[in-house]
A and B are shown apart, each in its own frame.
Chain A
Amino acid sequence: MTIDHHAPSPPAGPVPWDKDFALKLLDDMVRIRRMEEKSAELYGAGKIRGFLHLYIGEEAVGVGALHALRPEDNVVATYREHGHALVRGLSMASIMAEMFGKQEGCARGHGGSMHLFDAATRLYGGNAIVGGGLPLATGLALAAKLQNEARITACFFGDGAVAEGAFHESLNLAALWKLPVLFCCENNLFGMGTSIERAESQTDLVAKAASYNLPALSCDGMDIVAVHETMQQAVVQAKNGPVFIEFRTYRFRAHSMFDAELYRDKAEVEEWKSRGPIHTFSARLKAEGKLTEEEFLALDAAAMKEVEAAVAFAEDGTWEPVADLLKDVLTPEGVTS
C-alpha cells in the first residue's frame, strides 16, 4: 500500500490561544530544539555515549500533546523521549546529567538517553523496546480504573511499533476493558530506515487502530494547534475508554547517531523541514500580533542559557560509586513500593 510522503501544507488559520499559552508552547518547542542540538554536539564530543535519538522536527507532537495532560496523568514514552521528559517537567539539568551518565541524572545515570524516568511527574520511561511501553500503559490505565482514579495514561510510540504484537494486544485489551489510555502514535513515516509502506500492509493507521473498536483520530503533527486540540478531544474521550491518535510528523535528523540516511531522499527531508513546527508556528503568531521578533529572540536566548546551565550541571555531576553497582537491582529492605 502506498502512502504520501509529502509534507502537509503549512498550517493556517488563527491560533485559538491567548498570548501566554501560545508563547509557553512555543518556548517548550524551542527548549527541546536547543537541547537536542546541543546533545548532538555533545555526542560528537564524546560526552554523551550509547545511542542518542533526537526529537528534532517532531517537537509539536510532544509539546502540544503533553500540554493537554494534567500532573496526575501517567506518561509512557519511547527511547526518543528527551522532549517528553522536558515538557513533563523534568529539569533540563537532570536530563542532561542522565545523558552524561552522572548520578545527578533523573535515573542516576543508569539508563542514559533512552531511559529517562521520573516518579514525581509520573514518567514511566524511556522504553527502548519498540512497542514495549504499550502493555505497561495498558496496565497503568487498568490500575487507575480499578482504583477509581481519574488519571489517564498517555503512551507515545512510533509507527514502527504498529507492526509489533504488543501494539495489537494492548489496543485489544484496552478496548475490551475500556481503559483510560491514549495511544499516541508519532508517525514519522520510518521505523529506523524502513519506510512505513515497506513495513505495513495497511498504511492507514487510523483504519488499523479503529478495527479494535476504539475511537481513532489523525492530525497534522507539524501543527501544534492541531496536535493540542486533537489531544484535548482525546483526553475527554479517554475517560470512557482508549483512544488512538496518529500524529503525522517527520524526523529531521538521522534515526540515531549511526545513521547514514541512505533510505530517504534529501528533497523529502528538505520539504518537511520547510514546514518545521517552530518556524511555522512562530510565523502564525507574528502574523496575529502575538509574537515579536524581539520576543522570539529573547525566548531563544533563554533556552540557550538553560542549555548551557544544564551542560554545566552535568559536567559538575558526579559518578555513582562502583560500590553502589548492585544497589537498585532489587528494592532495598524496608522500602515499600
Chain B
Amino acid sequence: MTRKLSYREAMREAMHEALTNDSRVFLMGEDVGRYGGTYAFSKGFLEEFGPERIRDTPLSELGFVGAGIGASLGGLRPIVEVMTVNFSLLALDQIVNSAALLRHMSGGQFSVPLVIRMCTGAGRQLAAQHSHSLEGWYAHIPGIKVLAPATIEDARGMLAPALADPDPVVIFEHCGLFNTEGELPDKWDVDISSAKVRREGKHVAFVTYGGSLPKALAAAETLAADGIEAEVLDLRVLRPLDTVAIAAAVAKCHRVVVVDENWKSGGLAAEVVARIMEHAFYELDAPVARVCAEEVPIPYAKHMEDAALPQPGKIVAAVKEMLG
C-alpha cells in the first residue's frame, strides 16, 4: 500500500513521530513554534508538545546551534532548525569548531548526537543572499554526516536514523522540493549511509542529489525519447560519500554527468569526479562532465536565475556533446 504525500508533509510526519516517540527529542529554531515553522513543517506542534519542546529562538544562529550542541552533550536529542543554509554561516563556528570536533578532541569521551536541519538552494527568485547551495562545504568536514533527502520516502525516513546516530547530522532540504508530491509506501527502506539508483539506464549515468534530482530525472525522460537511457544515481548521503555506488554507476554506463547546484569550483561535484578518477577511471569512455551552478551570485530576475542553475536542458546538452 502507498499513500500520496508532499515533501513538507513527509518531513512534518517524521518530526511528529520523533517528538512522540522520544521525550529527549525537542525542536529548536527561529519561528518553529507560534509561527508554525517558516515552511509550516511544525504547524500545530507548539499546541501539541508545548513551548519547552517546541522552542522558538531569537535570531541567534550561533547561540542556538551551539546550545543545541550543549543540549545534546547534556543528554537530549535536539533537532535544530536553521531557517536556511544562508543563515547557517552565522553558526558555522559552532558546527565546525565544536559539533564536528568534540568527539575527537575529547579522546572519544563526548559524542554530539545532534540533528541540524536547514533549507538549501535556489530557484525561487530570492536573490544572492537567500539562494546558496553550500552542501559541499559541510561535506568537507570530518566529524559530521551530511544528508540530502530528495524524495518523499527520504524526507519521511531519514530523520529517525539521523536522530539515532550518535554523531552530528546535518540535513539539507532543498527549498524547491517542499511542494513535490509522491507515493509513500507503508514500509520504507531508508538508510543514511548509501546512495540510491532512482532510474535504471545504461548509456550515461547522472550522479546528483537534492534539488537537482528532479532535473536529472526530467533530462533522462527527454533523452529516453531519443533512445538514450540515462541512469540516475541519487547520492542522498553527501558525507560519507557512497564511493562504491558511484563506481558501480561508472562501471555500468561508462559515461558520467555530475549534476550539482553547488558552484563548480571546489564544490561537491569536484569531489565526485575525483572519486571517479581514483576508483573507476579505467571504466570511463569519455571525460566526466559537470553541470553545476554558474560562477556567479544567484541573480534575482527569473531568466537570469534559470540561466545560473543546472536545468534539464543543460544536462541533455551535456549528454549530447559527450555522445557526439
A residues sitting closer than 8 Å to B (CB atoms) are: 74, 105-111, 115, 117-119, 124-127, 129, 132, 134-144, 146-147, 153, 165-166, 169-170, 172-173, 176, 327-331, 335-337
Contacts and interface: CB of A to CB of B under 8 A. Distances in A.
Contacts of A134: 66
B98 A173 contact: no
Given A135-B94, A143-B71, A166-B62, A118 B109 contact: yes
Nearest to A98: B107
A172 B143 CA distance: 29
A328 B167 CA distance: 11
Interface string B146-186: 00000000000000000000110000000000000000000
A223 B213 CA distance: 64
B116 to A, nearest CB: 13
Contact of B66 (A135, A144, A335): A135
Nearest to B97: A129
Interface in B118-148: 142-143, 145
Contacts of B76: 142-143, 146-147
Contact of B105 (A115, A119, A331): A115
B73 A124 contact: yes
A170 B63 contact: yes
Nearest to A118: B109
Nearest to B53: A146
A141 B70 contact: yes
B93 interface: yes
B266 interface: no
Pairs A-B, 6 closest by C-beta atoms: A139-B70, A135-B66, A143-B74, A169-B63, A108-B107, A337-B111
A136 B103 contact: no
B110 A119 contact: yes
B66 A146 contact: no
B24 to A, nearest CB: 8
Given A146-B76, A328-B103, A135 B63 contact: yes
Interface in B59-116: 60, 62-76, 78, 93-94, 97-98, 102-113
B100 to A, nearest CB: 9
A118 B107 CA distance: 9
B97 A132 contact: yes
A329 B104 contact: yes
B324 interface: no
B63 A327 contact: no
Given A138-B70, A139-B67, A146-B52, A173 B60 contact: yes
B166 A146 contact: no
B63 A328 contact: no
Given A132-B94, A173-B63, A336 B74 contact: no
A119 B103 contact: no
A110 B68 contact: no
A135 B67 contact: yes
Given A146-B76, A329-B103, A337-B166, A119 B66 contact: no
B74 A144 contact: yes
Contact of A335 (B75, B94, B166): B166
Contact of A107 (B67, B78, B109): B109
A135 B167 contact: no
A97 to B, nearest CB: 11
B62 A135 contact: yes
A190 B52 CA distance: 39
Contact of B113 (A117, A125, A337): A337
Of residues B71, B72, B103, B107, which shows the largest number of chain A Cβ atoms within 10 Å of its Cβ?
B107
A165 B64 CA distance: 12
A176 B58 contact: yes
B60 A117 contact: no
A229 to B, nearest CB: 28
Given A108-B108, A134-B66, A139-B68, 7 more contacts: A107-B107, A127-B98, A138-B63, A170-B67, A173-B64, A335-B111, A335-B166
B62 A165 contact: yes
B280 to A, nearest CB: 23
A331 B167 CA distance: 6
Contacts of B45: none
Contact of B63 (A140, A146, A172): A172
A119 B299 CA distance: 49
A330 B103 contact: yes
B144 to A, nearest CB: 9
